[in-house]
Chains A and B, each alone.
Chain A
Amino acid sequence: MSHTDVEASASETLLVEPSRLSPTRRALGTVLRSRELSIFLVLVAVTVLATSKNESFLFSSDGLRNFLLNPSILLLLAVGQGVVIITRNVDLSVGSVMALTAYLTGRLFIEVPGIPVVAVIAACLVVGALLGLVNGALVAYGGVPALVITLGTLYIYRGIMLTWAGSDRINAGDLPREFLRLGTRTTLGIPWMTILAFVVLAAVGYYLHTARGGREMYAIGSDPDAAVLYGLPVKRRLLAAFVLSGALAGLAGALYTARYGTVSSSVGSGIELQAVAAAVIGGIAIFGGSGTVWGAAIGAFLLVTINRALPSLGIEDFWQRAVVGVLILGAIVLDRVLATRQARKLAESRDHS
């Protein structure tokens, strides 16, 4: 509320003409004002609270491992989802893609004994990317809203999985030990799956932030019509976004099987909504054009950590879901408030000059 004049003018400069500030102040200002930071602070608060109540939440070998490990599957989905949402689309089929590749992972190990783990993961990536390509092609060339297309493919992909799997299920005994160990293996206390998820996150985040293709995705999301008029390769970028989302869902499927060791037909149902929630909570605007995958990743961490922390704090199941709902609503309200304030400030500064 009580901004000093210096701060107020700095924040205004950052908004209107960032290049007038020194790079350090600019970076500092961006970080301090970022949505990612506030979500990160919530995450820290939840973790501290849960740990103070129950030390083993973080300070036991299982606790730390699970803290890092459990969000990694959702993190991958949230990163893919984040990219799609930034282009003002949505991919609801990720849960079904994940289910298909999770089952594919199990089947490959059963049908082809001795198949290398790398080959299975590659197969999941390829299948996921192909399923994503179908989504992308329908959205980019069909001109139908992604919400409808991916809602359709959500059911189609799940139907394929149900027909294929039937009442069959993959059991831990069907999978090679080395693959199952992948699910919990750690290096210096950090699980491999988490490292993998972070590498993907870093690559995608860097691409979005610096590469031409990444910036164009933001431009498409800000104003799709303007992007077309400007001559951006809109269709190609949309295809890329959906292929990425599909491939990451495919990877998540393989990791799911490694982690949980059991694949039944209900795998991943509803997880697409968690991925959207993680992206939105992490500050990606649902109408595209703003936000970062870093935010989506922190959002994924926050969702999973809250779900882990609330039982430890003795809070009932129902409230766990309600808390997630409040977080989503809060994120969207905050989004609107910030957007209107920003628009007002921009208008004001234009009037001044």
Chain B
Amino acid sequence: MKFHTRRPTALAAILLSATLALTACGSDDTGSDSEGGDSGSGGGDLSMTMLPKNLGNAYFDTSTKGAMSAADELSIDLEEVGPETGSPDAQVSYINTAAQQGKDALILSANDPEALCDAIDEARSADVKVITFDADTNPECRDLFINAATSEGIAAKQLELISEQIGGSGEIAILSATANATNQNAWIEMMEAELAENPDYADIELVDTVYGDDEDQKSFDQTEALLQNHPDLKGIISPTTVGIAAAARYLSDSEFKGKVALTGLGTPNQMREFVEDGTVTAFALWNPGDLGFLATYAAAALVAGDITGEEGDSFDAGELGTFEVGADGVVLLGEPFTFNTDNIADFDF
């Protein structure tokens, strides 16, 4: 449904903006001199574009919902556009459109760190503030990046959860994505280091790391092999959404249900069934709603000139509190969010 209505809208927008650009050319030359006055397209309200990786994706539906509620609070005119598939070139035309429409800011989740930079540069030279969230571009081509969680935070959170669930001692194993997945390998390395150094985890032993290649069936089979090869296994960490769901499905009707703990990174929709039936007590991820909310507040602060994206700038983000811009223009949302029986019903992504 969304797909069918949005394509023509985008097309119409391009046509409209093209005609507007033709008529507005003359006044633009004089108007752009006054810095503060170019937000006035909608009677003082800011106008922004939200560009997720793709539409029809529950994760981004949630982040857009968060962004919309922030937009309501700040009376921003926020419009969501996006391609159907998550390919890098698909986002370019939407970035160009936002620039032609003279939006105040563009909030996007980049499908590619490099490929979008030219389009983004053009938009920024047309005075559009560009904020990335969830997935970053190269730091020099955007104003701010809203990072969901740091690698350290993710690694630490997962160890904290598993340690809690197995009572602080015993054998654990990791079910990862592919053997060369950059994110997962970074987290695993940090977890290994933390296990070796942190005295709280002295009694926890990491006995095996296996790879499910982010395929349901393979992750499922690897979980079976893990349980078979390590009869004393107390817990499994799966830092990938496909892996944790497959492992949970295997555990949920095996003799190890409730005996072997499982945690990691998962989405509430995939894990709901297994949290409700007691296979999994808690798992982590960030809250994409908060991510969209924060990105919108950051965009507003940038446009208003409260911050410039320099390290040390700080701004207010409504109910989420005050945030500070870190090195390379990165704003950190915080620790990963823990989902459990109490709160999983509140999420739909």
Contacts and interface: CB of A to CB of B under 8 A. Distances in A.
A312 interface: yes
A167 B54 contact: yes
B255 A61 contact: yes
B256 A62 contact: yes
A311 B252 CA distance: 22
Contacts of B85: 166-167
A264 B240 CA distance: 15
A189 to B, nearest CB: 13
A289 interface: no
Interface stretch (A23-31, A52-60, A75-83, A225-233): A52-60
A286 B157 CA distance: 53
Nearest to A50: B228
Interface in B186-234: 210-211, 215-217, 220-222, 224-225, 227-229, 231
B253 interface: yes
Interface residues of B, number: 36
A172 interface: yes
Contacts of B224: 62, 66, 308
- Among B57, B246, B270, residue most surrounded by chain A Cβ atoms (within 10 Å): B270
Nearest to B60: A167
B253 A183 contact: yes
Contacts of B221: 70, 307-308
A223 interface: no
B269 interface: yes
Contact of B217 (A54, A62, A168, A260): A260
Given A54-B228, A57-B228, A183-B253, A172 B274 contact: yes
A171 interface: yes
A172 B266 CA distance: 13
Contacts of B255: 60-62
Contacts of B246: 260, 262
A181 interface: yes
Contacts of B57: 167
Given A62-B255, A62-B256, A172-B249, A262 B227 contact: no
B216 A62 contact: no
A168 B55 CA distance: 11
B273 A308 contact: no
A62 B251 CA distance: 10
Nearest to B276: A173
A214 B56 CA distance: 48
B129 interface: no
B86 interface: yes
B256 A173 contact: no
Contacts of B148: none
Contacts of B272: 171, 173
Given A62-B254, A167-B57, A311 B269 contact: no
Contacts of B256: 62
A172 B228 contact: no
Contacts of B227: 62
B84 interface: yes
B245 A262 contact: yes
A52 to B, nearest CB: 14
B242 interface: yes
B216 A167 contact: no
A173 B85 CA distance: 25
A147 B222 CA distance: 33
A236 to B, nearest CB: 36
Contacts of B228: 54, 56-57, 62-63, 311-312
Contact of A264 (B210, B216, B231): B216
Contact of B269 (A61, A66, A171, A264): A171
A171 B84 contact: no
B221 to A, nearest CB: 7
A70 B225 CA distance: 13
A307 B215 CA distance: 15
A166 B245 contact: no
A263 to B, nearest CB: 8
B231 A56 contact: yes
Nearest to A65: B254
Contact of B249 (A70, A169, A261, A312): A261
Contacts of A62: 224, 227-228, 254-256
Given A173-B273, A262-B246, A264-B216, A168 B229 contact: no
A266 interface: yes
Contacts of A307: 221
Contacts of B245: 171-172, 262
B348 to A, nearest CB: 11
A345 B210 CA distance: 52
A167 B56 CA distance: 7
B332 to A, nearest CB: 27
Given A172-B270, A172-B274, A266-B215, 18 more contacts: A60-B255, A62-B228, A62-B254, A166-B84, A167-B54, A171-B272, A172-B252, A180-B273, A260-B220, A260-B249, A262-B246, A262-B270, A264-B216, A267-B217, A308-B221, A311-B222, A311-B229, A314-B229
Interface of A: 54, 56-57, 60-63, 66, 70, 166-169, 171-173, 180-181, 183-184, 260-264, 266-267, 307-308, 311-312, 314, 317
Interface of B: 54, 56-57, 84-86, 210-211, 215-217, 220-222, 224-225, 227-229, 231, 242, 245-246, 248-249, 252-256, 269-270, 272-274, 276
Question: What are the 4 closest A-B residue pairs judged by CB atoms, nearest first?
Answer: A173-B273, A311-B225, A173-B272, A172-B273
19 contacts: A166-B56, A168-B56, A171-B269, A171-B272, A172-B245, A173-B269, A173-B270, A173-B272, A180-B253, A180-B273, A260-B216, A260-B217, A260-B220, A262-B246, A308-B225, A311-B222, A311-B225, A312-B228, A312-B229
